[in-house]
A and B are shown apart, each in its own frame.
Chain A
Amino acid sequence: MTGTATALLLAIAGFGGLSLTMARHSRQAAFDGSIIARRVPMRPLSWLLIIASAIIDMAKGNWRFGLVEWIGLAGVAAAIVMLAQTYRPRLVFPLAGAAFVLSLLLMPFSS
């Protein structure tokens, strides 16, 4: 269960970050990417989080079950980011950040 939660949080962080690299959404989110973009490559980092989410979900038990579950989880995570971008765009960056921090906290317990 913790593994699933970690994977979901990482996917939210990943998709949230990815959405902030898109011109329309970063405008919506009133997100000044220039500060971060100069120091961290936002787009590759977001993809890395999404891949990490998949790996964690598959590593927690039977990887075949994990893969099927992750495909569903990724959709849910992307839907959450999409709804946030639509109705609470300013919360997307805090949401992605919080999801990332929380996933790091849960990671030791997610095997």
Chain B
Amino acid sequence: MKEGFRQSMAWLHNWSGLLIGWLLFAIALTGTAAVFRPETSNWMRPEIAHHAGPVDQAQALGAAVSYLSSAGKGAPAWYLTAPDDRAAFTQAIFSLPRGGDANGYRTLALDPRTGRPDGIRDTLGGEFFYRFHFELKIPYPWGRILASAAAMVMLVALISGIITHRRIFADFFTLRPRKGQRSWLDVHNALGVLALPFHLMITFTGIMTLITLTMPWAIVANYGSDMARFYEDMAPGFSARPALGKAAPLGDVAAMVRDARRRMDGQISLVIINNPGDAAATVTISKHDDGQIAYAAGRVTYDGVSGRLLSAYAEDRPMRKLYDTFYGLHVGRFGAPVTRWLYFICGLALTATIGSGLVLWTVKRSRNGGLGYHLVEKLNIGVVTGLPVAAAAFLWANRLLPVTMAQRPEGEVRVFFTSWVLMILAGFILPRRIGWIAGLMLCAAAWLLLPPLSAWTTGRGMITSLLAGDWQFFGFDTVSLAIGLMFAIACRHMVRPAPAARVPRRMQAA
């Protein structure tokens, strides 16, 4: 192929990175946003009042169940996610014979005190970034397969990148600003190497989360098409009994939650109520994922009517625990808030590594490099500045669309994609330098103005939040300002470029 090993690795790094770079940029950016999924969901539902102190999970679930016993009547199951240290509301998902989304499912955010969704604006919240991160808004299973393939190419790009940029360890603390191509390379290397363990971990575990979809052969060999038996073996303790067709009221779910919290020594998360209103109803309560790295660690099932304990399951199969550990490492829902901030920072570093790599590809090549070169250059603008603008537009839409609007969540998503498409078009139309400056300026403005907009539309501004000790709202607005400031600085760099320094020949290889 190419001459030496390093040259072939450089070739692989350049082209694998370029081919999938824009997609990876979007995946990394939304994945980083998904680190604060519950916090984003709270921020996007400002009607749920800030509540100091720990939330009463048992009371919240009890209230939710009493609301659902009329609103969710006739559903085969209710899937509830309890509010916790982070999420301020109970999430309820259930399907009814009529209504709901394309799959017939209805998702509601319920107030933890009243158990009712009244007045809370309908939105996907942080769920949108989380879903887009691995489904890319493409129908099942193709979005997941594409995301998974992108992650695999990412792993190739990472490993070939370590070999290509061989000076990353010798130049560990080196950053030479305002030196044109040299600086882009330094930034790319620094962001890549400082969080390298994170980048490798998140890419590998990301591939692992979708492994049953991309490598199903072991499952097919052992289970054939009997997926029900596979799921039962994979996650025992979720077993539902067939409905008896005999009506019986649901027992005291709040008491079951209290019992489950005692048995599993801590917070609970998912509560699945099968056959509600039937004599064969069951209530399965899962352990919260903050107490251990491994994801689904255990669950208890109660008889829905009598509240009698039917089964208790704690995962202790080594291979399953290993898989759960990979999964848990990827989603990072364990441990202290510090860990989450570090995930967020490292995620931003990964996003910026990809972005700077894309820019580097064009900076390293001559200005008159033909159609391919111009295509890359234009798309870079539309993706690297377009996506942050689209994400901000999504949050703007959350504040500006009428609360009572029909199909509001879809409206917010439409604003996201429309603004992204517009940014890509603008990137193609505007001259390169103007395109970058305008894009960065728009990013800065959109994020810097988000907190004032939020304060104006909801009355929960930064000062109000600070005085109320509402760290989630205050934190969200602060991060928004920080992102805006970062783009403003980048824009200033762009407006006053460094004197184009000639890079010595021997450095260009690195």
Contact = CB atoms under 8 A, between A and B. Distances in A.
Contact of B336 (A15, A24, A65, A86): A65
A79 B336 contact: no
A19 interface: yes
A25 to B, nearest CB: 6
Contacts of B338: 1, 4, 69
A27 interface: no
A111 to B, nearest CB: 15
Contact of A72 (B293, B334, B345): B345
- The residue in B173, B195, B334 that gathers the most chain A C-beta atoms within 10 A of its C-beta is B173
A75 B190 CA distance: 10
Contacts of A69: 335-336, 338-339, 342
Interface in A53-100: 62, 64-65, 68-69, 71-73, 75-76, 78-79, 81-83, 85-86
Given A72-B339, A81-B173, 15 more contacts: A22-B172, A24-B174, A65-B339, A68-B329, A68-B332, A71-B198, A71-B201, A75-B194, A75-B197, A75-B198, A75-B349, A82-B190, A83-B175, A85-B173, A86-B177
Contact of A86 (B175, B198, B345): B175
Given A72-B339, A82-B194, A64 B346 contact: no
Contacts of B175: 82-83, 85-86
12 contacts: A65-B293, A68-B339, A69-B339, A72-B343, A75-B198, A78-B172, A79-B194, A82-B190, A82-B194, A83-B175, A85-B173, A85-B175
A4 B198 CA distance: 18
Interface size class of A (residues with CB under 8 A): 20 to 34
Interface string B97-137: 00000000000000000000000000000000000000000
Nearest to A85: B173
A68 B201 CA distance: 10
Interface string B168-186: 0000111111000000000
Contact of B198 (A19, A72, A85): A72
B264 to A, nearest CB: 16
B488 to A, nearest CB: 18
Interface of A: 1, 4, 15, 19, 22, 24-25, 62, 64-65, 68-69, 71-73, 75-76, 78-79, 81-83, 85-86
Contacts of B345: 72, 75-76
Nearest to A72: B342
A69 B293 CA distance: 12
A72 B346 contact: yes
Interface string B330-359: 001011101100110110010000000000
B338 to A, nearest CB: 6
Contacts of B343: 72
A68 B335 contact: yes
A71 B194 CA distance: 10
Contacts of B190: 79, 82
Contacts of A65: 293, 334-336, 339
A83 B175 CA distance: 8
Shortest beta-carbon contacts, A-B, top 5: A72-B342, A65-B335, A86-B175, A19-B173, A75-B195
